[in-house]
Amino acid sequence: MAVRDLRTLPKAHLHLHFTGSMRPATLLELADKYGVHLPSALSGGEPPELRATDERGWFRFQRLYDIARSCLREPEDIRRLVREAAEEDVRDGSHWLEIQVDPTSYAPRLGGLIPALEIILDAVDSAARETGLGMRLVVAANRMKHPLDARTLARLAVRFRDRGIVGFGLSNDERRGFARDFDRAFAIARHGGLLAVPHGGELNGPDSVRDCLDDLHAARVGHGVRAADDPALLARLAERKVTCEVCPASNVALGVYDKPEDVPMRTLWNAGVPMALGADDPLLFGSRLAAQYAIAREAHGFTDHELAELARQSVRAASMPADVREKTLTGIDEWLA
């Protein structure tokens, strides 16, 4: 029997960072345009040795990300990035993308926080119309900044909810600060109708996931894989149907696990924890959405029926309109037929 093509499996993509979605060739062009010197890890040299589980590794990762972000300076750069991210997702079988961004990082070059967010939202709207991909935005606070900044972002995200913002996140090094420091920002977002989707359980252990549930009332958890170390926490995630946005290639690149086989996808699966596979930062980790499903197939022995259920779980966790959800679920059944 022929192997089913994972790129044609309909799916939703719920964990993709803004600058990290950039095509390497686009980064090279923009760096040349603005005279930005790229280190070899970003210019086609050896893949970066990140190992972000130690402080130096996280610094290297953040430095590379910041250099790439410095090449996004004009509205057209933003439009290009979003359009190309959508094109890549469509190529990998995605029917829905929730792309995550901290607009404060782009505000200095785009005329301020509100203009930056409007440019990004306009780019998402245009890319969705041009590619046919359903797209929405998750606004993410930076846990390395003051919690008051997060509250400002949460209010802004709620204000622009009707323009396509569906969630509020919390990213960057989870070893810094406490989730509870951001509880007011997440309360503002939740009360404004946004999903709470903080990162947790990546660089830190199961306590980080528990804090996302207890302090931020997470509907989904970015990564969440370290919950596998705590059977009681797994049972809680399964009972509440809290989806973990699992990014296996990222986990290996950042040194959370040594090899793809070590990522505890089977542990979460067997515990009944919903998963939505994501690419995280393809620019730095070298693989996009379909490749994450390939890891599930090749490193963990997921059958096509199980891969289809993984895709269904991503669709159920997405902020899709009902008609798009039903159409995508039907497409998954047809992929199996």
Q: Which residues are catalytic?
A: 202
Query: Contact, 276 vs 245, CB < 8 A?
Result: yes
Determine the Cα–Cα distance for residues 52 and 280; give it in Å rounded to an integer: 14
Beta bridge partners of 136: 98
CA distances from 16 to 32, 56, 211 (A): 25, 24, 22
Which amino acid does the sequence have at 194?
L
Sign of the C-alpha dihedral, residues 91, 94, 96, 98?
negative
Backbone angles phi, psi at 16, to 5 degrees: -140, 125
Which amino acid does the sequence have at 82?
V
List Cβ neighbours of 123 (8 Å cut-off, separation of 6 or more).
75, 78, 79, 81, 82, 83
The packing angle between helices 206-216 and 231-240, to 10°, is 40
Which amino acid does the sequence have at 212?
C
Determine the Cα–Cα distance for residues 90 and 8; give it in Å rounded to an integer: 9
CB atoms near residue 63 (< 10 Å):
13
Closest to 14 (Cα-Cα) out of 149, 138, 191: 138
